[in-house]
Structure formats: C-alpha cells, structure tokens
Amino acid sequence: MERKETDMDGIYLDNNATTRVDDAVVAAMLPFFTAQFGNPSSMHSFGNKVGLAIKKARMQVQELLGAEHESEIIFTSCGTESDSTAILSALRASPERKEIITTSIEHPAVLALCTHLEKEGYKTHFLKVDEKGRLDLDEYRKLLTDKVAVVSVMWANNETGTLFPVEQMAEMAHAAGIPFHTDAVQAVGKVPIDLKNTKIDMLSLSGHKLHAPKGIGVLYLKRGVRFRPLLRGGHQERGRRAGTENTASIVALGLACEQAMQHMHFENTEVKRLRDKLEAGILAKVPRAFATGDVTNRLPNTSNIAFEFIEGEAILLLLNKFGIAASSGSACTSGSLEPSHVMRAMGIPYTAAHGTIRFSLSRYSTEAEVDRVIQVVPEIIAQLRKLSPYWGENGPAEEPEKAFAPVYA
C-alpha cells in the first residue's frame, strides 16, 4: 500500500491508540458541515438527504459487523459510551440480578465502570488470565448463574492484541440465559466478524480505531435483546440513543467500515507480515526482551515487547526523539504507581512489566518504517540499560534484587 502524505514526519506505530482518518473519509464527511448541514429529523429536504446518508452509513457498518438487520446498529459518541450503555442497560433490564462477569484485563471503559458498580452493591467477577493472557473457560462456566445480569468480555486486548474466544463465551452465556456484551473496539476492522451467526447480544466499536474520526462509536444491539437507553430524549436511533446525530462522523464511519472491509485481507497478510518482521527483528537484536500475550492468537497489527530492567516512559521519550511513536504499559506514562493492569494480570515480573512497549501498525505502515525501528530500538535499549543500576557490563546484574538493595523496600 502506498504511503499516505502525513503532516508530521515520523513513524506512527501507535494505531491501537488512534488512527489517521483516511483522506477519502475526510472528503466524504466535509459536505455534512456545509451544504448538507440539515437535521435528519427535519421534514424538509435539507434534512432528508442527510437521513439517507445516515441510512447508507448504517448499512456499511452492518456489512462490516455481519449484522442481520441495519436497525441493530446504534450510533453513539464513542466506544466508552457504547460500553456503558450496554452494561447499564443489562443491569436495568434485570434489576433483581446483582452480578457481573468480566475479565481482569478489560479496557478501563469497562473495568472502571464495574469497579464503580461494586460500590453500588453489584458483585463483579473479574476472570483471571494466565501468563499468556488466556482465560480459563471452566472458571467462567462455573460463574454463569441466574444471579448474573451481564457478561462483558473484550474481543481483543488493546495492549497485547490477544484475542478472547468471545463467540464461544457468548454461546455459553446464551445457554445460561445471560446477555453477552463484547468490547470489540480493537477487533473491528482487523479480524473478520459475522455477528448474525453468533450469540453476541451487544458489541461496542469506536470509529477512530479504524481510520474514522474521534467522537463516533457504535453499539450493536441484537434484535430482541432487552434494552434500556442510557440517554433518553428525542426519537433518534429509534429512541435508543437520544441526541441529534453526529451526521458528518456517522457518514465518515460508514465509509471507514467499507474501507476496512476491503482491506481485511491486506490487514491479515501484509500488515501481519510487517508486524512479525518488526517483532522478530527486535527480539533478534535485543537480549532480555520477549513478546507478551498469546502470540499465536492475536490481532495482526499488534506487538507488545517487554524490555527487562528499564522503564517504558524513558524508552518512549527516546523513540520519540527518533520520530517513532509507540506506547507503554509503564506506570509512569499514566501517572499511576503501578504498571499496566494487563501485564500484572498476566504475572509479568516487575523487572519487565515497567519496560513494556506496544507497537501497533496499520495499513499505512511501511517496510522502510519497520526497518528503521528495528535499527533504532536496540541502540535505545542499550543506552538506557547503561543508566540502570540493575544492569551490569553486558547483562543484568547478578541477582538484580540483591545487587541493588535499598535500605528499605
């Protein structure tokens, strides 16, 4: 794929954080700020055309998700809104049920909501993961009782790209009479999805993860699933999400979904090949580094590498100096004191958890960019290890915890 012109020079490998809006997508949305500014709810012709454009976008999203009906697509403002709407709807629809099942490595959009709901009297079961970030389905099966109001499990983990068996888990929840929601923000557009042949009741997606703008999301709601809106008011989205439609962004998301559909094969062949090359190239040159997550079952664009005995934010700052954008699960990048909850849940030792770096590619990533990163990363890692009290001349200090023994710890 040809490299797009970007306004900023640099190598962008942080596509799980957000993506560049495709030029054609920007062009498609622009008329909806000016000539097509009408409110789709209006009776006059200013609104009518806009209504038709939204209908088309809804069908484009439907196509990418493999949804049976276009009315199952509800436009929202973001992935987080979709997650909150889904989970809170399920709780309100079954007020007598006071338990929630989710995983310990969800995105904060689900995790923080569930933690908050615990304060309101709900019991949340956070499914544990093993060292590769995989779930124990036997543990899950035992929790599926009639006390559970909703199951919410992410399709793909944002940090490691590890895929969860959501289709199988939805079948299990369905058999137990429990609605199943999946946060598929990272998965949509990267792995094939065919919702009509699953028992998934609700799914969240976010536009800006697939080359649409920020501020637009979707909640997929299977026909017949009991629903209670988060926002009540006007009749928009058939009364399931009140508020005037974000028309330009809805149109943009529609086209972005169509493009994602067209590039699905490319994503799973060429993007995957570049990701694999990047990961193998770095691991071949850097000692004491390893890929985290389930590397045989993950998103095609994501590689998460742990570099031992150094800290992630320092790596990012040096990468940035070379014009390379990535992200880290280190505590310092978030301002918290603990490294990423995903790394801790997988039991990644602290010697490595603070030094995890996520590279996430897109269909715009190039071979030359990957080669450059493979060249730069080993130098950066060596430079920081030279500063680290845990690193000796040519490797980690022997028994690092003893070599560096503070008077307190």
Q: Kindly list the catalytic residues.
A: 332
Stretch that binds other proteins, among 52-60, 105-113, 241-249, 398-406 (CB under 8 A): 398-406
With tokens 């560049």, the residue in question is 20
Contacts of 83 by beta carbon, 8 Å cutoff, 6+ apart: 107, 109, 110, 113, 152, 181, 183, 204
Least gap, CB of 355 to other proteins (angstroms): 9
Q: Rule CB under 8 A: is residue 267 a binding residue for other proteins?
A: no
Maximum C-alpha span of the chain: 77
Range in contact with other proteins (rule: CB under 8 A) among 63-71, 140-148, 159-167, 399-407: 399-407
Q: What mask, x for binding other proteins by CB under 8 A, covers residues 17 to 56?
A: ----------------------------------------
**Nearer residue to other proteins within complex by CB, 46 or 322:** 322
Say how far apart CA 324 and CA 337 lie, in whole Å. 25
At 99 the three-state DSSP class reads strand
- Within 322-381, the residues that bind other proteins by CB under 8 A are 330-333, 335-337, 339, 350-351, 354
Specify burial of residue 24 (Cβ count, 10 A radius: 0-12, 13-18, 19+).
middle
By C-beta, is 224 or 408 nearer to other proteins?
408
Site pattern 300..319 for other proteins (x: CB under 8 A): ---------xxxxxx--xx-
CB 193 within 8 A of CB 64: yes
Q: Among 122, 126, 322, 390, which residue sits at the site for other proteins (rule: CB under 8 A)?
A: 390
Residue among 109 and 250 whose Cβ is closer to other proteins: 109
At residue 2, φ and ψ (nearest 5 deg) are -70, 140
Place of tokens 């080669």: 371
- Per the CB < 8 A criterion, the answer to whether 216 and 288 are in contact is no
Tell me which long-range contacts 400-403 makes (C-beta under 8 A, separation of at least 24): 400/309, 400/351
CA–CA dist 294, 195 (Å, integer) = 24
- Given 118, 131, 194, 401, the residue binding other proteins (CB under 8 A): 401
**How many chain residues touch other proteins (CB under 8 A)?**
34
Residue 386's SS3 state is: helix
The answer to whether residue 321 forms part of the interface with other proteins (CB under 8 A) is: yes
3-state helix, strand, coil in the chain (%, to 5): 45, 15, 40
- Our finding on whether 8 is near other proteins (CB under 8 A) is no
179 touches 90 (CB < 8 A): yes
Q: If we measure between CA atoms, which residue out of 34, 69, 40, 52 comes closest to residue 246?
A: 40
Does 162 bind other proteins (CB under 8 A)? Our answer is: no
Contact between 121 and other proteins per CB under 8 A = no
> Residues in the chain, how many?
409
List of residues 6+ apart from 73 with CB closer than 8 A: 58, 61, 62, 65, 67, 218, 220
In the complex, least distance from residue 409 CB atom to other proteins, rounded to whole angstroms: 5
Residue closer to other proteins (CB basis): 43 or 407: 407
Query: Which C-beta is closer to other proteins: that of 63 or that of 313?
Result: 313
Q: Which residues bind other proteins (CB under 8 A)?
A: 309-314, 317-318, 320-321, 330-333, 335-337, 339, 350-351, 354, 386-390, 400-401, 404-409
